[in-house]
């Protein structure tokens, strides 16, 4: 049962784009002032419809599967959770004709079934298992970054770093993009937060007003860059900035920037 | 789709023909193109460097940077949008020197590639990243030519029909990205 749920999540994430993402793209298409940017968005919207109708991947890069699991602490798992998740992914890849996009980093030998997935497990209250899946294509993942700022650089330093980074990513990350930010913690926690931020509902604001304000300011600044949809020029370089934070060392200000392409593919289920 | 200044072009693409293109032109491309990405580029580059025979004739050829998803039964191709061109930058100047005349991908590239397009002639075209399902419909025939062991990274021959792309670097040193960013920087104008 869990295996089938995972399979369905992987297929629906790849074929049927989140309606919230589609809505943001549709709004951008209406407001984009650049003629070529507008054409890019029109093609993107047609592509979304076509993929949904034909049950074919929105993008040929069917990506790396990243799972975030919230496991209720009253739940007893008496089977190999990792194995079942990978089996679901394997079957989705085969049955859904997903591209095999996972390889050994040194030999570059393809694992030929998109496994192993990347799995993050957290304990929570209750007796349910919540599975969130994020599909990460390399076009945007490759344009991601984790770095250590100096604490004195503060909020201005964060803004500057993100805007400069997005400018350097340009059209490579398949704009209009979603920008996940992880602020604070240490090296790996900031990276994890940046990815977790992307898993919030697309376009949602952080509940912390300070972070919500930062998200808004960065979005406005990034959209002044002129990169535009498909990198073809325009106002809509990003559709949303989503930030999360965690306390870190007094001498550190970790910042992770995880870019996600317009094809922001995710799915979730609660068992 | 309402393309401005659209040109309908059929491959093979001679370097003379490419001289007619200017940054910002939309092109509806038809005819044969070859797919190649990271691993295929690496192999081609190594063969040329060692002075060995290249299986692919690059003269007037167009390479499409893509690694398609597998075809479903009864179909010829899965999704097939562009991959990030910059990963091929290291290999591109040599391929242009060998006669390659066009590349289709997405995103900005190195200064070396831009200069090589100017020096050796040809054109760098971009299409819409992520639009794999849409673009796949504009591929009418697919044949795996060689290096099948590379799976989605093998070299395929695609026959395109009215495949939309935009001129990003032209033979005159033009850079669409720079031009357009300057135009739209600062939001609404």
* Residues from chain A contacting residue B79 (CB–CB below 8 Å): 51, 56-60, 99
Residue B46's SS3 state is helix
- The answer, yes or no, to whether residue B187 has pLDDT greater than 60, is no
Residues 6+ apart with CB under 8 A from A49: none
Q: Clarify whether B33 is annotated catalytic.
A: no
Give the C-alpha separation, B40 to B146, whole Å: 10
Residue showing tokens 């490419």? B18
Closest-approach residue (CA) in chain B for A219:
B187
Residue B109 maps to a domain: yes
Q: Does B110 contact chain A (CB < 8 Å)?
A: no
Residue B37 maps to a domain: yes
Residue B147 maps to a domain: yes
CA of A105: how far to CAs of A102, A140, A196, B5, B26, in Å? 9, 18, 24, 44, 38
pLDDT at A148: 97
pLDDT at B129: 96
pLDDT at B188: 47
Give the C-alpha separation, A62 to A93, whole Å: 9
Q: How far apart are the first and last CA of chain A?
A: 10
Q: What percent of chain A has pLDDT over 90?
A: 98
Catalytic residue, from B37, B41, B43, B106: name it: B41
| Average pLDDT for B138-166 | 95
pLDDT at B55: 87
**Predicted confidence band of residue B151 (pLDDT cuts 50, 70, 90):** confident
CA of A146: how far to CAs of A111, A194, A239, A259, in Å? 27, 9, 21, 11
Residue B1 maps to a domain: no
Q: Which tokens in the block code for residue B32? A: 């044969």
Residue B176 maps to a domain: yes
| Average pLDDT for B162-172 | 97
**Predicted confidence band of residue B189 (pLDDT cuts 50, 70, 90):** very low
Residue B189 maps to a domain: no
Give the C-alpha separation, A76 to A71, whole Å: 9
Residue B46 maps to a domain: yes
**Predicted confidence band of residue B54 (pLDDT cuts 50, 70, 90):** confident
Is the CB of A174 less than 8 angstroms away from the CB of B129?
yes
Among B132, B164, B177, the residue with its CB nearest the CB of A231 is B177
Is the CB of A60 less than 8 angstroms away from the CB of B106?
no
pLDDT at B3: 76
pLDDT at A135: 97
Low-confidence ranges of chain A (pLDDT < 50): none
Query: B83: which DSSP letter?
Result: P
- With 0-12 CB in 10 A as exposed, 13-18 as middle and 19+ as buried, what is A111? middle
pLDDT at B186: 79
- The answer, yes or no, to whether residue B5 has pLDDT greater than 90, is no
Interval A223-248: pLDDT, tens:
999 999 999 999 999 999 999 999 99
Question: Chain-wide mean pLDDT for chain B?
Answer: 94
pLDDT at A120: 97
Is the CB of A142 less than 8 angstroms away from the CB of B84?
yes
Among A50, A97, A139, the residue with its CB nearest the CB of B70 is A97
Q: What is the CATH number of the domain that holds B65?
A: 3.20.130.10
Name the domain count of chain B.
1
Residue B12 maps to a domain: yes
Q: What percent of chain B has pLDDT over 90?
A: 89
Three-state secondary structure readout of A67-81 = EEEEEECCCCCCCCH
* Residues from chain A contacting residue B152 (CB–CB below 8 Å): 60, 99-101
Residues 6+ apart with CB under 8 A from B130: A44, A47, A58, A59, A137, A139, A174, A261, A262, A263, B81
Element (H, E) at A64: strand A64-72
Distance of alpha carbon A21 from the chain centroid = 11
Residues facing A253 on adjacent strands: A149
Full residue range of the structural domain in which residue B108 is found? 6-184
């Amino acid at each position: 049962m869990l295996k089938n749920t995972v399979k369905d999540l992987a297929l629906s994430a790849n074929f049927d784009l989140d309606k919230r993402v589609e809505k943001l793209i549709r709004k951008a298409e209406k407001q984009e002032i650049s003629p070529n940017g507008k054409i890019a968005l029109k093609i993107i919207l047609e592509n979304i419809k076509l993929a949904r109708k034909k049950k074919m991947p929105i993008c040929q890069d069917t990506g790396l599967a990243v799972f975030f699991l919230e496991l209720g602490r009253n739940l007893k798992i008496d089977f190999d959770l990792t194995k079942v998740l990978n089996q679901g992914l394997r079957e989705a890849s085969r049955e859904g004709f997903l591209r095999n996009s996972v390889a050994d980093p040194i030999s570059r030998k393809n694992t030929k079934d998109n496994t192993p997935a990347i799995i993050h497990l957290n304990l929570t209250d209750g007796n349910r298992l919540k599975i969130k899946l994020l599909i990460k294509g390399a076009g945007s993942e490759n344009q991601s970054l984790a770095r250590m700022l100096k604490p004195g650089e503060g909020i201005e330093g964060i803004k500057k770093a993100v805007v400069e980074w997005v400018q350097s990513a340009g059209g490579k990350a398949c704009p209009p993009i979603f920008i996940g930010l992880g602020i604070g913690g240490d090296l790996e926690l900031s990276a994890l937060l940046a990815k977790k931020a992307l898993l919030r509902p697309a376009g949602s604001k952080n509940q912390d007003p300070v972070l919500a304000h930062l998200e808004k300011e960065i979005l406005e600044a990034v959209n002044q860059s002129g990169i535009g949809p498909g990198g073809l020029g325009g106002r809509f370089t990003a559709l949303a900035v989503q930030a999360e934070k965690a306390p870190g060392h007094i001498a550190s200000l970790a910042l992770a920037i995880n870019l996600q392409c317009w094809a922001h593919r995710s799915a979730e289920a609660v068992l | 789709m309402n393309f401005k200044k659209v040109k309908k072009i059929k491959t093979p693409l001679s370097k003379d023909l490419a001289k007619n293109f200017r940054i910002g032109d939309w092109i509806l491309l038809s005819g044969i193109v070859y797919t190649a990405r990271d691993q295929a580029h690496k192999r081609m580059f190594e063969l040329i460097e060692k002075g060995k025979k290249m299986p692919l004739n690059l003269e007037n050829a167009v390479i499409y940077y893509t690694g398609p998803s597998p075809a479903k039964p009864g179909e010829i191709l899965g999704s097939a949008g562009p991959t990030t061109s910059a990963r091929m930058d290291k290999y591109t100047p040599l391929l242009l020197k060998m006669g390659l005349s066009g590349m289709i991908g997405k995103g900005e590239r190195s200064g070396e590639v831009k200069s090589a397009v100017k020096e050796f002639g040809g054109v760098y075209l971009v299409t819409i990243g992520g639009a794999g399902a849409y673009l796949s419909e504009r591929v009418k025939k697919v044949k795996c030519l060689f290096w099948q062991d590379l799976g989605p990274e093998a070299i395929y021959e695609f026959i395109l029909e009215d495949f939309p792309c935009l001129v990003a670097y032209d033979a005159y040193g033009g850079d669409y990205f720079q031009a357009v960013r300057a135009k739209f920087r600062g939001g609404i104008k």
